[in-house]
């Protein structure tokens, strides 16, 4: 039994509609994870209106945070779900439960009806991203209840959480099912932002290192790469990242596969290559721009793909300078090439579906 991922919307900040946006899509954040019994939706941007026929599966909605681009499709979506039962999960923020956050949007004067007026049975579950909490299986069925742990079950799917690094806070989700896993790290900034820069709930310590630990052995990672490196310099503190850090994340995960001392491991012997889909495309990045960005990503990865055996045989460690070009590393660094197996890093495209298994090709 496989888990599948469908990209329903991957645009960030606001929805766009233009002929030059059709390839990658213009709908805002929404992802569908399916198993034989479950339909788990992550975020309710305008992409939620693309939800396919889920054939009677139980519907769960995981909200990362209630910024408008992540919930703007919810009012229309609920209007099309008459008679269904939907469980909505999210974290309390600014003293507001997930239900109270959504009610601020779905009510007058912003919307003509309230959530209580929809002909849908809604159940709300407040979660926490306390990474020190023990795992928990949620068996409650009350309309409004709290899950006071960072891991819970939806049927046979284990959902784990960690705090993201984003203004106002956001939740990173990991879904594990039948030996495979998907991590959704939307609205994530790789550099920790101080309170003086921006009021936000941050992941303590190095956010990218913590994400790497959280994503260890994941089959697929969805990573926020809204900005180019140049754009990021002007947008520090806005809560988003770049493809350069996605590559760095892949390097961290590859280093974990090799071991602390860069043990010699061939591609066939190593763990599966890291697979990353880049998400939350900026609304001003059209298809031509994103095509060029993918080409740049491919060139950068090609530059890092050196002869791993030669690097370790000759004792030549490699590191990446600020330009992304491999340079000789100091003698104190582990002696390994960046990747034993080439990672797959691709820009996500709306309407694509992936079967999550060890043979997935992005």
Model pLDDT for residues 68-118, shown as the tens digit of each residue: 999 999 999 999 999 999 999 999 999 999 999 999 999 999 999 999 999
- To the nearest whole number, what is the mean pLDDT of the chain? 82
Beta bridge partners, 166, equal: 201
Res 271: pLDDT: 55
**What is the average per-residue pLDDT within 181-192?**
90
Whole-model pTM? 0.83
Domain CATH code at residue 324: 3.60.15.10
d(CA 189, CA 314): 37
Question: φ, ψ for residue 201 (rounded to 5)?
Answer: -95, 110
Res 112: pLDDT: 93
- Rounded to the nearest 10 degrees, the angle between the axes of helix 243-258 and helix 207-214 is 50
Q: What b-and-e string marks burial along 159-198, b requiring 16 or more CB atoms within 10 Å of the CB?
A: bbbbbbbbbebbbbbbbbbeebbbbbbbbbbbebbeeeeb
362 within domain boundaries: no
Model pLDDT for residues 271-306, shown as the tens digit of each residue: 577 899 999 999 999 999 999 999 999 999 988 875
Res 191: pLDDT: 80
Res 357: pLDDT: 87
Res 34: pLDDT: 97
Res 314: pLDDT: 45
Res 306: pLDDT: 57
Res 7: pLDDT: 98
172 vs 320, which has greater pLDDT? 172
Res 248: pLDDT: 92
30 within domain boundaries: yes
Domains in the chain, number: 1
Q: List the domain range (segments joined by +) for residue 173.
A: 3-356
Res 318: pLDDT: 35
**What is the average per-residue pLDDT within 46-51?**
96
Res 116: pLDDT: 93
User: Is the pLDDT confidence value at 321 over 80?
Assistant: no
361 within domain boundaries: no
User: Is the pLDDT confidence value at 9 over 80?
Assistant: yes
223 vs 358, which has greater pLDDT? 223
**What is the average per-residue pLDDT within 232-258?**
84
256 within domain boundaries: yes
3, 354, 359, 32: which is closest to 157 by C-alpha?
Answer: 3
User: Is the pLDDT confidence value at 136 over 60?
Assistant: no
Question: Which residue in the block uniquely carries the two structure tokens 């003086």?
Answer: 196
**What is the average per-residue pLDDT within 116-139?**
70
303, 167, 289, 275: which is closest to 231 by C-alpha?
Answer: 289
Under the banding of pLDDT at 50, 70 and 90, the label for residue 240 is confident
User: Is the pLDDT confidence value at 20 over 50?
Assistant: yes
Question: Which residue in the block uniquely carries the two structure tokens 């769960």?
Answer: 60
Res 320: pLDDT: 36
């Amino acid at each position: 039994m496989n888990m599948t991922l469908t990209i329903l919307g991957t645009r960030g900040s606001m929805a766009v509609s233009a002929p030059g946006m059709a390839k990658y899509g213009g709908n805002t954040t929404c992802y569908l994870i399916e198993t034989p019994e479950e339909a788990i939706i992550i975020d309710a941007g305008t992409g939620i209106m693309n939800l396919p026929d889920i054939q009677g599966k139980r519907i769960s909605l995981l909200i990362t945070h209630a910024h408008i681009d992540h919930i703007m499709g919810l009012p229309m979506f609920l209007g099309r779900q008459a008679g269904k039962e939907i469980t909505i999960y999210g974290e309390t923020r600014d003293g507001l439960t997930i239900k109270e956050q959504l009610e601020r949007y779905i009510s007058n004067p912003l919307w003509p009806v309230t959530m209580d007026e929809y002909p849908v049975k809604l159940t709300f579950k407040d979660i926490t991203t306390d990474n020190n909490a023990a795992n928990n299986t949620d068996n409650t069925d009350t309309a409004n209840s709290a899950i006071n742990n960072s891991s819970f079950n939806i049927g046979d799917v284990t959902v784990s959480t960690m705090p993201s690094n984003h203004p106002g806070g956001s939740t990173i989700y990991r879904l594990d099912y039948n030996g495979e896993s998907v991590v959704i790290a939307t609205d994530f900034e790789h550099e920790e932002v101080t309170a003086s820069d921006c009021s936000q709930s941050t992941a303590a310590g190095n956010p990218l290192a913590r994400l790497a630990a959280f994503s260890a052995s994941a089959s697929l990672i969805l990573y926020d790469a809204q900005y180019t490196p140049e754009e990021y310099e002007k947008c520090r503190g806005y809560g988003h990242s770049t493809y350069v850090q996605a590559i760095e994340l892949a390097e961290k995960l590859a280093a974990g596969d090799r071991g602390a001392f860069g043990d010699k491991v061939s591609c066939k012997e190593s763990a599966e290559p890291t697979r990353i889909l880049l998400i939350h495309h900026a609304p001003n990045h059209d298809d031509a721009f994103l095509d060029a960005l993918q080409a740049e990503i491919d060139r950068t990865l090609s530059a890092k793909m050196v002869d791993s055996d030669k690097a370790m045989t000759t004792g030549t460690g490699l590191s990446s300078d600020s330009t992304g070009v491999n340079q000789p590393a100091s003698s104190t660094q582990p002696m390994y090439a960046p990747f034993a197996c080439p990672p797959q890093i691709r820009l996500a495209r709306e309407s694509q579906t992936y079967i999550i298994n060890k043979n997935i090709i992005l």
